[in-house]
Amino acid sequence: MQTDFLQQLRLAFPALKLLEAEPLRNYTSFAIGGPAPMAFPTTPSELTALYRFCLEKGHHPVILGAGTNVLAPDEGLRRLVVNTRGLRELAAQPGGEIAAQCGVPLAQLANFARARGLTGLEFAHGIPGTVGGGLYMNAGAYGGELKDVTVETQALLPDGSLWRAVGSEQGFAYRTSAFQCRNALILQATFRLAPGDPAAIAGRMQELAQRRRASQPLEYPSAGSTFKRPKVGYAAALIEAAGLKGCGIGGAVVSTKHAGFVVNLGGATARDVLATMELVRNTVLAKSGVELEPEVRILREEGENFLCNS
């Protein structure tokens, strides 16, 4: 990131929090990543203006939410990272709808719905991401996906224009969406839910939380499921059948608790994680003939703007 561009940002957005060398490891669930210039907008209008300003100056920023599905490089980034965690407004609307900004944690969204006796987001309570990142990849768990409850999303396209996507225009499918396909920056969304009993909703959330604690290595930094579900079988089962539990490189290993997770045992680098992922992919391909596709998104100097989850 050029110093003169940062100076231009400060002049154009004097109230914007802007840090020149913020460690990415502090903003990713893997706890990995070097320094990067980082901006912290707090409203959709500020985010929109910032994004359009960057495009006008020929810069394509990385958009980062909760950082729970990304791997940041050890050397950091020169690209501006726009952190959306400050956009956290929620509002109940008529007809069982909830409007949420992109930086709202999915757990907060689920709790907001529960408190108002609205069911349909229980599955999202334990997903450690934001609304923006979750919609970008159509996050889901335990039989539920955000596509089931999202009726409208407002996003910015790579040319800076505003896109209001309604219903099927959102293009949701397994771990993808039209926003991902069009490299859009999600600003906010509206969810439509059904009436439910708050006690029953809370009970379902507690049940799913217990299942997560029992089956997932939540005690170690990770980016959740490392690989997408293949067309045949399940990634975790294929990895375990290949004898890869506990295998890894450096501080990164395949979890002994859940083979679908590559975890940071302490001091792992991005290179360790990438090498471990490559070991897994090559071994599974050799033993089963199935080629695994990473679900973790890699932050790079070039490429897409939004890297979920945000």
Catalytic positions, please?
A: 175, 225, 295
Q: Which amino acid belongs to residue 174?
A: Y
Looking only at the bridges linking them, the beta strands covering 81-83 and 35-40 are parallel
Write b or e for each residue in 18-29: b if 16 or more Cβ atoms lie within 10 A of its Cβ, otherwise e. Answer: beeebbbbebbb
Q: Which two tokens stand for residue 183?
A: 């490299």
In the block, tokens 């395949």 appear at 254
Question: Going edge to edge, which strands form the sheet with 162-166?
Answer: 90-93, 97-101, 185-192, 150-156, 162-166
Question: Could you say which DSSP state residue 294 is in?
Answer: B
Q: Which amino acid belongs to residue 112?
A: F
| CA geometry: angle 41, 42, 48, nearest 5 deg | 60
Distances (CA, A) of 94 to 89, 111, 116, 118, 120: 17, 18, 12, 12, 16
Looking only at the bridges linking them, the beta strands covering 185-192 and 150-156 are antiparallel
